[in-house]
């Protein structure tokens, strides 16, 4: 399995990250254990979650994903075999959100308890919090790293300007810096990352682990109309893709998949992996069969002609 570094952290990860948002949501505890077992058996060991997953599901309040992972760690005794990423800042209830020193200090302890571990490999600021000085946030992260509770830190959903600012604060104040960025990025949603964020990441050597790598399932090729996707948990998020450009992207994706005797999802992930600035795209599965399909993407090398075909099909999202 190919490995890449998370920025300059010294932590090596495989070229695909498993998204733990499904645990405690579309995958119950039993299925989640099956998926995590199969993940390690396949040679992958990088798992991303967040304290707030999956607060959006009826009856959930956040913390469900971390709780499932923690139970799996305890049952299997394999914490050291997994590169674990989680996040802080999203709302966990009234007054429980943000990047203040006070809140992060409590939130990390809550995450560690749910995860049944004494350290987090990659702790990420889930969303920016402009109400808190960035030096305050980096200061508590420095304390957590010094205490051995966090190995390295990352950012998610930051603008290029705020990411650049955070990196400058870390340099000026001699504090730990973000080593990774987790942006929305896929074959359809290209502009937000490529226009501004990518240059910051490349300049500063940040690892990039994009989410929505399969555009909420659109790039899996399973759906060709909003009606077909209407029963999906993320049907509302899929709607925006069913337009002329989306259909063109999907058609090119399926053409390349046929040429390479691969699945559209594998090609979409391989396209991300082929971009030099990308470390490991995040993708989720709710069955072991789907997981094996995702793993296949790590063994798929796209010919340059295929990359160019996909680039052209989705080029409208990028300034020229």
Average pLDDT, the chain: 95
φ, ψ of residue 12 in degrees (nearest 5): -100, 135
Q: How far is CA 48 from the centre of its chain?
A: 6
pLDDT of residue 320: 36
> Which parts of the chain have pLDDT scores under 50?
317-320
Structure pTM? 0.95
- For 138-187, the pLDDT digits (tens) are 999 999 999 999 999 999 999 999 999 999 999 999 999 999 999 999 99
Beta strand ranges found along the chain (DSSP E): 3-5, 12-14, 17-19, 46-48, 83-88, 120-125, 150-156, 180-182, 207-208, 282-283
- For 259-294, the pLDDT digits (tens) are 999 999 999 999 999 999 999 999 999 999 999 999
pLDDT of residue 236: 73
pLDDT of residue 20: 98
Kindly report the number of other CB atoms within 10 A of residue 182's CB atom.
25
Residues 6+ apart with CB under 8 A from 258: none
φ, ψ of residue 309 in degrees (nearest 5): -60, -45
Is the Cβ–Cβ distance between 84 and 72 less than 8 Å?
A: no
DSSP H stretches of helix in 174-314: 191-192, 198-204, 235-238, 244-260, 264-274, 288-297, 304-313
- Buried/exposed code over 106-128 (b: 16+ C-beta within 10 A; e: otherwise): ebbebbbebbbbebbbbbbbbbb
Residue spans per domain, the chain: 3-182
- Top CATH class, 3-182: alpha beta
Strands 17-19 and 282-283: parallel
> Above pLDDT 70, what percent of the chain?
96
pLDDT of residue 232: 67
Active-site annotation, residues? 53
């Amino acid at each position: 399995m190919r490995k890449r570094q998370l920025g300059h952290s010294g932590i090596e990860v495989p070229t695909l990250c498993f998204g733990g948002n499904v645990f405690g949501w579309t995958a119950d505890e039993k299925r989640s254990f099956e998926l995590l077992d199969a993940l390690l058996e396949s040679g992958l060991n990088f798992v991303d979650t967040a304290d707030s997953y999956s607060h959006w599901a009826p009856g959930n309040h956040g913390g469900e994903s971390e709780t499932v992972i923690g139970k799996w760690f305890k049952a299997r005794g394999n914490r050291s075999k997994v590169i674990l990423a989680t996040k802080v800042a999203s709302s966990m209830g009234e007054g429980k959100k943000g990047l203040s020193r006070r809140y992060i200090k409590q939130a990390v302890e809550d995450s560690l308890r749910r995860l049944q571990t004494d350290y987090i490999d990659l702790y990420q600021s889930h969303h920016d919090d402009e109400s808190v000085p960035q030096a305050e946030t980096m200061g508590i992260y420095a304390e957590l790293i010094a205490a051995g509770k966090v190995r390295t830190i990352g950012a998610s959903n930051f603008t290029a300007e705020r990411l650049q600012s955070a990196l400058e604060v870390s340099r000026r104040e001699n504090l730990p810096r973000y080593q990774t960025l987790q942006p929305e990025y896929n074959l359809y949603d290209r502009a937000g990352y490529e226009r501004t964020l990518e240059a910051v990441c490349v300049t500063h050597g940040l690892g990039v682990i994009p989410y929505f790598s399969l555009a909420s399932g659109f790039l899996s090729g399973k759906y060709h109309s909003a009606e077909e996707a209407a029963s999906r948990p993320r049907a509302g998020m899929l709607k925006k893709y069913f337009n002329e450009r989306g259909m063109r992207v999907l058609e090119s994706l399926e053409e390349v998949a046929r040429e390479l005797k691969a699945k559209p999802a594998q090609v979409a992930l391989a396209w991300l992996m082929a971009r030099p600035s990308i470390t490991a795209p995040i993708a989720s599965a709710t069955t072991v069969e789907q997981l094996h399909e995702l793993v296949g993407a790590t063994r798929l090398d796209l010919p340059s002609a295929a990359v160019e075909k996909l680039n052209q099909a989705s080029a409208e999202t990028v300034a020229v």
